[in-house]
Amino acid sequence: MNKSQRNQDYLMYVEKQSPKSPWLSSLFRAFIMGGTICCFGQMIGDVIKSFFPTMDLLTVGAWVNISVIALTIILTAFGIFDVLAKYGGAGTFIPISGFANSIASCAIEYKKEGLVFGVGAKMFYVAGPVIVNGVSYSMLVGIIYFIISLF
């Protein structure tokens, strides 16, 4: 038997043997955690609106984002966020909390290598691909939108 056939058979066997993550309970927990974070954001928005009734929705939204980011960073610094994320999975990662955590955790981790080559260089080690993709796809959408608007 040649090596590539052997490896292919082996990987199929491994796939069958390897335990799967429990998807139904994972989905449920992600739903609960993600929903809780979003409800929390909505609550902050409502509180801000009740204090400043004249504030426009965009500004309220910005304050909500800032609050969730700040809280995530504080929870990350105290070592609580990763415990929540272990429970919530994508529920904590997909909202802006996941993005904030990925930057804050890198900043904490790489502080030991100094401010320039540690924090400075590696802060976006996890978040970097998200930003690059975000910018690239919005450019693509922008170009498509521009072409459509010509007609």
Partner 1 sequence: MKKLGKQTYEMANPVTISYAHALVGSKEKNGPLSKYFKDYFEDDTFGEKSFEKAERKMLKTAISDMLLANKINIDDIDLYIGGDILNQLVSSNFVAEELQIPFVGVYSACSSVTESLALASTLIDGGFCNRILCSACSHFSAAERQYRFPLEFGNQRQAYSQWTVTGAGCMIVDKKESQNCPKIKRVCFGKVVDYGVLDLANMGAAMAPAAADTIMEFFKDTKTQPSDYDLIATGDLGKLGSDIFRDILAQNSIVIENNYIDCGHMIFNGNQECMQGGSGAGCSAVVFSAYIYQKMKQKKLKKVLLLATGALMSTTTNQQGDAIPAVSHLIELEA
Map residues 85-124 to x or -, x wherever contact with partner 1 holds by CB under 8 A. xx--x--xx----x--xx-xxx-xxx-x------------
* Residue (1 or 57) nearer to partner 1, CB: 1
Count of residues that interact with partner 1, criterion CB under 8 A: 38
- What number of CA atoms fall less than 13 Å from residue 91's CA on the CB side? 23
A 10 A CB-CB count for 81 gives 23
Q: How far is the CB of 101 from partner 1 (least distance, A)?
A: 5
18 lines the binding site for partner 1 (CB under 8 A)? yes
82 lines the binding site for partner 1 (CB under 8 A)? yes
DSSP, residue by residue, 21-50: P-HHHHHHHHHHHHHHHHHHHHHHHHHHHH
Q: How far is the CB of 42 from partner 1 (least distance, A)?
A: 22
A 10 A CB-CB count for 72 gives 26
Instruction: Take residue 143 and report the two structure tokens written for it.
Output: 């170009």
37 lines the binding site for partner 1 (CB under 8 A)? no
- Report whether 61 contacts 45 (CB < 8 A): yes
* Residue (19 or 53) nearer to partner 1, CB: 19
Find how far residue 114's CA is from the centre of its chain: 25
Q: Which residues bind partner 1 (CB under 8 A)?
A: 4, 6-8, 10-11, 13-14, 17-22, 26, 76-77, 79, 81-82, 84-86, 89, 92-93, 98, 101-102, 104-106, 108-110, 112, 125-126
